Amino acid sequence: MSGAVELKALTYTSWARPGIQSAEVEAVLESSRVNNPLEGITGLLIFNGVAFMQILEGGEAAIDELVTKLAADPRHWNMSIRDRRAIASRAFPTWSMAYLRLDDGEFVGEEAVKKALTRDLPPSIRNVVMGLTHSILRDAPGA
C-alpha cells in the first residue's frame, strides 16, 4: 500500500451574504492562506462582489473536511459543487490561496491566473474554469 496522498480538485460557486463587507472577504482570504498550507490545500478564490467561485486542491480527506466547513459558513449561501475529480497534479502548486476579484468591471489578477491555467491545465478544463469565472457575473442576482 502506497503512502502517497491521492489528490482531488473541487470547484464550487456560492452567493455572498447580502451586505458582506470587503474586510470579511479579506479575512477569509488571509485565513485560507494561513490554514490551507497546514492541510496541504492549494487553490484559487474568485469574488465579483456578489458571488464566489473557489477551486480547491489537496488530499481527499482534507478537501472533504474543508467543504463541510465551507457549506456551514454564514458568509455565503447556495453553495453548488461544479466540479469534483481526482487529479494527477495541482494547477496551483504554490498558491495557498490565490485571489481574483472584480474591480470596476475588470478581474484584478486575471492574467496571473490565466498564465497558471495555461501552464498547468489542459485547454478543456482551463476553458471551464474561465467560463465559470465569467458566468458568475452573468448569473448574479439582479444582473
Residue type, 110: E
pLDDT, tens digit, 9 for 90 and up, residues 89-104:
888 888 888 887 766 6
pLDDT, tens digit, 9 for 90 and up, residues 79-135:
999 889 999 988 888 888 888 776 665 566 666 666 666 666 667 666 766 676 666
Instruction: Please give the sequence-ordered ranges of beta strands (E in DSSP) within 5-137, or none if there are none.
Output: 7-16, 42-47, 51-59, 76-87, 98-103, 106-108
Mean pLDDT of the chain: 81
Give the pTM: 0.76
pLDDT, tens digit, 9 for 90 and up, residues 51-71:
888 999 999 999 999 999 999
Which grid cell sits at 107? 478581474
Average of per-residue pLDDT across 35-50: 90
Q: Which domains does the chain have, with CATH numbers?
A: 7-138 (3.30.70.100)
